[in-house]
Amino acid sequence: MIESDTIAAIATAMDNSGIGIIRISGDEAIDITDKIFKSVKNKKLKEVKSHTIHFGHIVQNNEILDEVLVSVMKAPNSYTKENVVEINCHGGVVVLNKVLETVFKAGARPAEPGEFTKRAFLNGRIDLTQAEAVIDIINSKNEYALTNSVRQLKGSVSVKVKEIRENILNQIAFIEAALDDPEHISLENYNEELINITTLILSELRKLLDSADNGRVISGGIRTVILGKPNAGKSSFLNTLIGEERAIVTEIEGTTRDALEENIRIHGISLNIADTAGIRETEDVVEKIGVKKSRTLAEEADLVLFIVDASRPLNENDYEIIDIIKDKKYLVLMNKSDLETVVKPSDIVGIDESRIINISAKQNIGIDIFEDKIKEMFFGGEINFDSELFITNERQKNDIRNAYDSILLVENSIKNRMPEDFFSIDLMNAYESLGKVIGETIEDDLVNQIFSKFCMGK
């Protein structure tokens, strides 16, 4: 799959800006640039040292297109491990396209989405988890997602996966050697030793799998649904969190007919939050659809916010919501606490009182307590990136799950006193599954699919 032709693309956003960068990578990157770049010192780029910057002009048919700075990074010490040139132009859309067109005419071809990072992977500079971390950094929605992606780019997932694979490979090698040379290598009492090793491996894989839920929350945000009976203050609460009037608020019950979805950040954590139709029995066809959607969203949510109108007695709609949320992560927000209240926490039977917060959406009371509670519920009050590793990629999670299941089969074989070559088969399956995580054993089509999701020029 390794290609040697030279590719080029605009690596910065296509908008009018101070600076725009055109990236060129491949064996001929420096020679191609030399055809169109005139240094003010009249020096060819192939004669300069690596990792240097040079001032001059991009020229086509003796016409100056732009005044530029050109960075030269010679193989193998570059992003792709190939010769890489970056032309720093003025950031206008027209001038960038004009310079890029000149690069193509000089011999480069247009890069495909993600092809620079793909080449870095294929040339062995980074593994697949690090490559995927690149796109995660670009798509980060909050500071935690960014921090975790940077750790993965540095190889945090790779190190752990390689460590587990090495342990597995050692066991495969020992079993195969013992089966080939039973006179000199004994498998006596090896089952007891292997069961201890598989227990350790399962524990490590379990930690990675368990981290995936928090990892998804970190990268994608907490799927949050606001539930409550009509006029409990759901839309007012959403508007307070957003800081603007996004949801329509009236005294008329059933104003919200469909879910209104917003993304907000609390202490660096993203909440993908949906304000839903009030839960109640209704003859209105449209409102019925909205109520049904509210229940569906609640079933799929990571967190349900139950807004209680504390100024009105609980009714059958409130009790229905209590039944919906009892097996979910939830917070009960006793709204309108600025008014005379008639509902006490003890009135909400079956609800953990530590999950109840008094708020006033209208007066912005209790919102700070609510925000602290969110962080505490999902991350114990903090996320420690110095010691924790979070899997945020569904592909990686599936491959780790396959490895975990294979190790479970090894344990079952040991307990059932199966022949040792059965151990070796399942250990090898686990080894290969973990190889897919870091990209050592992966099909070409999947590689192409992964990098097709990248932006152009990366």
Which tens digit of pLDDT belongs to each residue from 292-302? 777 778 788 88
pLDDT at 172: 92
Assess whether 23 and 69 both reside in one domain: yes
Q: Does 85 fall in a domain?
A: yes
Q: Does 202 fall in a domain?
A: yes
Calpha distance 306→226 (Å, rounded): 6
pLDDT tens across 382-435, in order? Answer: 555 555 677 878 899 999 999 999 999 999 999 998 888 889 999 999 999 999
Instruction: Answer yes or no: is pLDDT of 277 > 80.
Output: no
Q: Are strands 37-39 and 330-335 parallel, antiparallel or unpaired?
A: unpaired
Instruction: Answer yes or no: is pLDDT of 157 > 50.
Output: yes
Assess whether 38 and 57 both reside in one domain: yes
Assess whether 296 and 375 both reside in one domain: yes
pLDDT at 259: 52
**What is the percentage of the chain residues whose pLDDT exceeds 90?**
37
Confidence grade of residue 216 (pLDDT, cut at 50, 70, 90): confident
Worst-scoring range by mean pLDDT, 81-90, 253-262, 378-387?
253-262
Confidence grade of residue 328 (pLDDT, cut at 50, 70, 90): confident
DSSP string for 149-176: HHHHHTTHHHHHHHHHHHHHHHHHHHHH
Residue 373's identity, in one-letter code, is: K
Assess whether 261 and 161 both reside in one domain: no
Question: What CATH number has the domain bearing residue 304?
Answer: 3.40.50.300
pLDDT at 231: 81
> Which residues does 195 contact at the CB level (< 8 Å), separation at least 6?
411, 414, 415
Confidence grade of residue 253 (pLDDT, cut at 50, 70, 90): very low
Q: Does 448 fall in a domain?
A: no
Confidence grade of residue 257 (pLDDT, cut at 50, 70, 90): very low
For the sheet with 330-335, list strands across it. Answer: 260-266, 269-275, 222-227, 303-309, 330-335, 356-358
Q: Which residue has the higher pLDDT, 74 or 144?
A: 74
Q: Are strands 269-275 and 222-227 parallel, antiparallel or unpaired?
A: parallel
Q: Which residue has the higher pLDDT, 336 or 144?
A: 336
CB burial of 233-256 (b: ≥16 within 10 Å; e: otherwise) equals bbbbbbbbbeeeeebebeeeebbb
Assess whether 105 and 147 both reside in one domain: no
Handedness of CA 60, 11, 395, 433 (dihedral sign): positive
Q: Which residue has the higher pLDDT, 180 or 60?
A: 60
Assess whether 75 and 180 both reside in one domain: no
Worst-scoring range by mean pLDDT, 88-92, 248-252, 370-374?
248-252
pLDDT tens across 10-42, in order? Answer: 999 877 788 999 999 999 999 999 999 999 998
Q: Does 283 fall in a domain?
A: yes
Question: What CATH number has the domain bearing residue 410?
Answer: 1.20.120.430
Average pLDDT over residues 339-358: 85
pLDDT at 258: 45
Select from 90, 110, 126 the last residue of a domain: 126
Select from 86, 106, 126 the last residue of a domain: 126
Select from 379, 409, 427 the last residue of a domain: 379
Domain count, the chain: 3
Average pLDDT over residues 180-196: 86
Calpha distance 38→41 (Å, rounded): 8
Assess whether 164 and 272 both reside in one domain: no
pLDDT at 290: 62
Token reading at 216: 């998804």
Average pLDDT over residues 170-199: 88
Calpha distance 132→317 (Å, rounded): 45
Confidence grade of residue 281 (pLDDT, cut at 50, 70, 90): low
Using DSSP, state whether 331 is helix, strand or coil. strand
Q: With a threshold of 0.85, does the pTM exceed it?
A: no
Assess whether 212 and 361 both reside in one domain: no
Assess whether 188 and 274 both reside in one domain: no
Return the bridge partners of 275, or none. Answer: 226, 260
Q: Does 43 fall in a domain?
A: yes
Residue 434 belongs to what H/E stretch?
A: helix 420-438
Q: Does 11 fall in a domain?
A: yes
Q: Which residues span the domain enclosing 253? A: 221-379
Confidence grade of residue 219 (pLDDT, cut at 50, 70, 90): confident
Cα 310–Cα 312–Cα 317 angle in degrees, nearest 5: 95
DSSP string for 224-290: EEEE-STTSSHHHHHHHHHTS--S---SSTT---S-EEEEEEETTEEEEEEE-PPP-----HHHHHH
pLDDT at 101: 96
Instruction: Answer yes or no: is pLDDT of 85 > 90.
Output: yes
Worst-scoring range by mean pLDDT, 5-9, 110-114, 320-324?
320-324
What is the overall mean pLDDT for the chain?
Answer: 84
Q: Does 454 fall in a domain?
A: no
Confidence grade of residue 286 (pLDDT, cut at 50, 70, 90): low
pLDDT at 245: 45
Assess whether 324 and 369 both reside in one domain: yes
CB burial of 372-409 (b: ≥16 within 10 Å; e: otherwise) equals ebbbebbbeeebeeeeebbbbbebbbebbebbbebbeb
Confidence grade of residue 320 (pLDDT, cut at 50, 70, 90): confident
Assess whether 35 and 107 both reside in one domain: yes
Assess whether 228 and 206 both reside in one domain: no
pLDDT at 73: 97
Calpha distance 345→190 (Å, rounded): 59
Worst-scoring range by mean pLDDT, 85-89, 124-128, 139-143?
139-143
Q: Does 78 fall in a domain?
A: yes
